[in-house]
Amino acid sequence: MTTGFDAAQGAVEPQRVDKEAASRAHLEVREVLERDSLLSDWGINSILIGSYKRQVSIRRIKDVDVFCRLESVPHDVSGSTALNEFFRVLSDEYGEDNITRQARSLSVENPTWNGLHVDAVPARPAGRFWEIPNHEDPDSGWQETNPDKLTQLSSEMNTALGELYVPGVKLIRQTRRTLIDDHPGGLFVELALYTACTGGQVFGDTMRDFYVSALNGVAQVVDAKVRHGQEIPDPTRPGELLKFRATDDEWLTAADAFKAAAAQADRARNAPRCAAEATFHRLLGKNSDGEVVYPLPVDCNVDGSTKSRLVAGDRTVPGGNQKFA
């Protein structure tokens, strides 16, 4: 039998047309960059990173991240110089109007890519890790990162948790969209969930149980950060802490929203069927195409009550209270 969580996983899954556009877009940008003679001399060797690579993107795919490892770039090349050269190459191919220079990357748009863009990030070797342009001052230097490791850790966590982690991340990302505005973003809740998983706070053999415990775990991690100053560790660089963009008010809003959502999901464990279904229906909201993510059963009302009578045209008869005369 198809459950609400089965339907929810389908509703947040990126559509095939978006996946095909994403694949076409990143291959095209990588080819453009790799055929440039200077970047070739710098040893460019690009890979995919980000939510698309980790298969935790939700509908619709907004961007694809290309991590451009410059394996032979001279050490005196600044982050801003690398960004300038990327801009030169990409604007020659796509036109300046389709390139947006960001703090650490170049964002490339193309009308044929179904509305998504590709972020190309220059990187240079730095011992065990890599460095990308320093977002606060790309003229003066670079900053350490290790994004490919996160892809590996995500895959390992998914295996360890019975293949529930990746689809669970998608549902938590969707819940974030329902609960709060842009910041903190999807990467934050993904890593808050990863932290909760490493702490043994997330469990369950079904997606329903996993989702409820995941919401509780994320709520605890956010609360610890906001109210007790416990920053989230960077799982890709032991001993380092993660930073995310959000104002104090946005952090407080996120902490309150996830705490309330976790409490609602927890109560749904023992609530009457329609009350529980309405809770998950509300928490998962609508996807980017405006479609309901978690559909209500035909005999349940949005307020969590059970429909009291048959409605003309209904194709399914409500189950009633399962008591018979």
Cα 165 from Cα 168, distance rounded (Å):
5
- Condensed to tens digits (0 to 9), the pLDDT of residues 201-212 reads 999 999 999 999
Cα 267 from Cα 5, distance rounded (Å):
17
Residue at 172: amino acid letter? I
Within 10 A of 94 (CB to CB), how many other CB atoms are there?
A: 18
Q: Give residue 314's pLDDT.
A: 56
- Condensed to tens digits (0 to 9), the pLDDT of residues 169-186 reads 999 999 999 999 999 999
Cα 193 from Cα 219, distance rounded (Å):
9
Cα 237 from Cα 144, distance rounded (Å):
9
Q: Give residue 320's pLDDT.
A: 46
Residues counted in the chain: 325
Tokens of 193: 């969930």
Tokens of 173: 């990302």
Intervals of the chain under pLDDT 50: 319-325
Which domains are seen in the chain, by residue range? Answer: 14-145 (3.30.460.90), 150-270 (no CATH)
Q: Give residue 141's pLDDT.
A: 82
Tokens of 88: 């030169």
Q: Which residues pair with 233 in a beta bridge?
A: 241
- Condensed to tens digits (0 to 9), the pLDDT of residues 221-261 reads 999 999 999 999 999 999 999 999 999 999 999 999 999 99
Q: Give residue 163's pLDDT.
A: 98
Cα 8 from Cα 284, distance rounded (Å):
8
Q: What is the pTM of this model?
A: 0.91
**What percent of the chain is modeled with pLDDT above 70?**
94
What are the start-end ranges of the H helices in the chain?
4-12, 16-34, 37-41, 50-53, 79-94, 147-160, 165-179, 186-198, 207-228, 248-268, 273-284
Q: Give residue 164's pLDDT.
A: 98
14: preceding bond cis by omega (within 30 degrees): no
